[in-house]
Amino acid sequence: MAVTIRNIKVICTAPEGINLVVIKVETSEPELYGLGCGTFAYRHLAVKLVVVEYLAPLLIGRDVSAIEDIWQLMHQNGYWRNGPIENNAISGVDMALWDIKGKMAKMPVYQLFGGKCREGVPVYRHADGRDIEELCENIQKYRDIGITTIRCQCGGYGGEGYGKTPSTAPNGAADGVYLDGESYIRDTVKLFERIRARLGDEINLVHDVHERIAPPQAIRLAKALEPYNLFFLEDPVSLEQTAWLKQLREQSSIPIAQGELFNNPSEWKQLITEHLIDYIRVHLSQIGGITPARKLQIFAEQFGVRTAWHGPGDMSPLAHAANIHIDLAAPNFGVQEWSGIEPPNFVIQKLKDQRGALLEVFNGLPEYRDGYVYANDKAGLGVDIDEKAAAKYPCENTVTTWTQTRRRDGALQTP
């Protein structure tokens, strides 16, 4: 007799002050359930509504083993497709179904993909600082615990704090995070020159442009950063301006990672087939979960493009685990962004204390050791949630300010 979907629940929790959305798919087998991530931190209530009001009525009673058919059904049922709210809702269910399939098979999910290509997943971490001295100190702290690839920023993503309207803006300009592309380019090139001078060439360096400059500026920045041998330059152009990557590629040899905001296969297909990027770094829940991510990984492999999935703090440990399971089985894996999700036995006590609320809510997290992250080898995704603990940390529905980015004249700029 088929195991079927009995109920679908949405658990919203914010143990670290970031809204997380976890979807729980309960089955006709009383003790069997799956968990997935549908986190859209800035529109979490919209995702919850789609799951509760539309996906649950559509899916209850269906066979949990039919992952592909269920994904296609969710994807087309609303007629309009590939939006971030719908994709995150679909992702939560999709990841939960893979979690269930692994539990039924008594295997970790990576085994369902053909098994490991590597034992551990090398990760990169973020180092920031108010100045070069603080930045280099933070880089060294990561090197001391085995991290060999580090993303370097100085003062965030090249903007000032929200509400600091510069003197260059016209009278009456709105509050926002104001950006100055030209000074950002100058400062960034000087920054990497100084990092290499201080720390040498043995460390892999990454920088995130975060789409915050115009495409011609991005080309100029990429050319200027070539002497400092970056591992890759992340999201140099916006989602809407990826056609410029052809010109960037023609003028610079710097490796390019792109895709944090992608929703739709049409956004990455040409970039991969024409070799315009070196790393694809989608956000798994943003594209609809494990099912489309696995297809994307295999597609990218055919063209020599490697994966570097998005791995920020605004995704739940279920999504981090999904990243790791795909990474372990992917021949074309490159590197994994890691936001510092650490297990209870992590060696740095101070970091344990900082992550206490997260570890109270989630258990079975992938483990970091000496530069690598390891799956815990439990069946399914290996991560569970304490619903009572999750309820202690409710989400907040507030106006997002960090995305209100503006150019020096006060006009809005993509964040």
Per residue in 1-60, pLDDT tens?
899 999 999 999 999 999 999 999 999 999 999 999 999 999 999 999 999 999 999 999
Instruction: Summarize pLDDT for 207-253 with one digit per residue, the tens.
Output: 999 999 999 999 999 999 999 999 999 999 999 999 999 999 999 99
Active site residues: 157, 210
Instruction: Report percent pLDDT > 90 for the chain.
Output: 85
- The DSSP H or E segment spanning 17 is none
**CA–CA dist 380, 362 (Å, integer):** 15
Q: How far is CA 98 from the centre of its chain?
A: 19
- How many CB atoms within 10 Å of residue 170? 9
User: Which residues does 197 contact at the CB level (< 8 Å), separation at least 6?
Assistant: none
Reply yes or no on whether the pLDDT at 185 is more than 80. yes
Beta bridge pairs of residue 151: 126, 206
Superfamily of domain 111-380: Enolase-like C-terminal domain (3.20.20.120)
pLDDT of residue 165: 76
Instruction: Summarize pLDDT for 393-411 with one digit per residue, the tens.
Output: 999 999 999 999 998 888 9
Reply yes or no on whether the pLDDT at 160 is more than 60. yes
Mean pLDDT computed over 133-161 = 89
pLDDT of residue 168: 79
Reply yes or no on whether the pLDDT at 184 is more than 90. yes
- How many CB atoms within 10 Å of residue 201? 9
CATH architecture of 5-108: 2-Layer Sandwich (3.30)
Reply yes or no on whether the pLDDT at 167 is more than 90. no
pLDDT of residue 351: 47
Domain residue limits, the chain: 5-108, 111-380
Average pLDDT score over the chain: 93
pLDDT tier for residue 355 given thresholds of 50, 70 and 90: low
Mean pLDDT computed over 139-160 = 89
